[in-house]
């Protein structure tokens, strides 16, 4: 059970960041520099770290700096190592262990009720979800069964294949299918409860295949989401969809919805920011109130290399 809530409803802005990877000392030190944001909220969009200790470390800083914090898991939180605090936790059980750690810091998770944001930007349902992936971001001429072999042809293979276990499901694809149905139903229920409100959907993996563009490792795309969520931004009236995972910061507009990739990334992937004097405080992405949609609902990609 979570502790009784001590959260103050935020009255300011909503920010997001993903892939802070505090297992790296460089990132850990940067996270310790997170500045206080009284009145604001923060979405942590997965890949905080791999262990319970990483989560506690990151969550303790986040909750000291922000009035309300949301978290959704990435693939790294779900890893099972042969030693350490999560040795006996695999798959769904590892996820639930992470949920309990988050709740001990009064952080909202995908397993908690979606809440209505009442800060800047107006009433909006904040919906952290967890969908995983099912290899369906493959090319059309590659079968699901051959997707991993196709990636291996270019010496690409996700660590997930060795450390992310799907227990009790037979495969990650079947776990993904279960999760998609679960959170589709949860979003539908929230939409029925708040029919006039827009949503902010936060998920570690991109909801759309066309947003999973990986110039240097294109075949890694099969570990980046599921086509089952392709239209969720329209179905659930999303004003913004937040994701991480790709370590490529960008903003896209699709059908009047803003898609934000908000990763910090591994040290080498934001070192140029650090060399320019930019840290995590500069790389937090403002979600709400955020900019107004473009007139026709579409806009060119805005690359966010420097925040």
Average pLDDT across the chain, whole number: 95
E strand segments, the chain: 14-17, 37-44, 66-71, 115-117, 124-128, 199-202, 238-243, 250-254, 257-261, 285-288, 299-303
Q: What is the pLDDT of residue 9?
A: 84
Could you report the per-residue pLDDT of 232-286, keeping only the tens digit for each? 999 999 999 999 999 999 999 999 999 999 999 999 999 999 999 999 999 999 9
Question: What is the set of domains in the chain, with CATH numbers?
Answer: 14-303 (3.60.21.10)
The 3 state secondary structure assigned to 48-95 is CCCCHHHHHHHHHHHHHHEEEEEECCCCHHHCCCCCCCCCCCCCHHHH
- pLDDT tens digits, one per residue of 191-215: 999 999 999 999 999 999 999 999 9
pTM score over 0.85: yes
pLDDT, one tens digit per residue, over 86-103 is 778 999 999 999 999 999
Confidence bin at 5 (pLDDT 50/70/90): low
- At 106-118, the pLDDT tens digits run 999 999 999 999 9
What whole-number distance in Å separates Cα of residue 150 and Cα of residue 172?
Answer: 17
Q: Would you state the pLDDT for residue 3?
A: 46
What is the pLDDT, as a whole number, of residue 245? 98
């Amino acid at each position: 059970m979570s502790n009784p809530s001590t959260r103050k409803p935020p009255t300011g802005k909503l920010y997001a960041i993903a892939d802070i990877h505090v297992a790296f000392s460089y990132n850990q030190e940067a996270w310790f520099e997170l500045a206080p944001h009284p009145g604001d909220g923060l979405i942590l969009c997965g890949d905080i770290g791999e262990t319970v200790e990483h989560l506690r470390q990151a969550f303790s800083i986040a909750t000291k700096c922000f009035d309300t914090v949301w978290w959704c898991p990435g693939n790294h939180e779900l890893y099972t190592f042969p030693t350490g605090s999560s040795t006996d936790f695999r798959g769904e059980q590892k996820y639930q262990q992470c949920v309990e750690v988050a709740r001990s810091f009064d952080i909202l998770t995908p397993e908690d009720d979606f809440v209505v944001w009442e800060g800047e930007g107006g009433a909006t349902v904040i919906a952290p979800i967890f969908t995983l992936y099912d290899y369906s971001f493959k090319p059309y001429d590659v079968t699901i069964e051959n997707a991993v072999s196709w990636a291996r042809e270019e010496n690409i293979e996700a660590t997930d294949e060795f450390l992310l276990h799907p227990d009790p499901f037979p495969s990650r694809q079947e776990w993904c299918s279960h999760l998609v149905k679960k959170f589709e139903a949860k979003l539908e229920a929230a939409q029925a409860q708040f029919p006039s409100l827009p949503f902010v959907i936060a998920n570690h993996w991109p909801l759309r295949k066309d947003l999973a563009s990986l110039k240097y490792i294109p075949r890694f795309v099969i570990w980046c989401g599921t086509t089952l969520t392709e239209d969720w931004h329209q179905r659930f009236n999303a004003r913004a969809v937040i994701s991480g995972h790709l370590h490529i910061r960008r903003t896209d507009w699709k059908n009047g919805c803003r898609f934000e990739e908000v990763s910090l990334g591994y040290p080498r992937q934001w070192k140029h920011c650090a060399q320019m004097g930019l840290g995590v405080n500069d790389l937090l992405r403002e979600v709400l109130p955020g900019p107004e949609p473009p007139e026709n609902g579409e806009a060119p990609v805005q690359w966010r290399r420097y925040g």
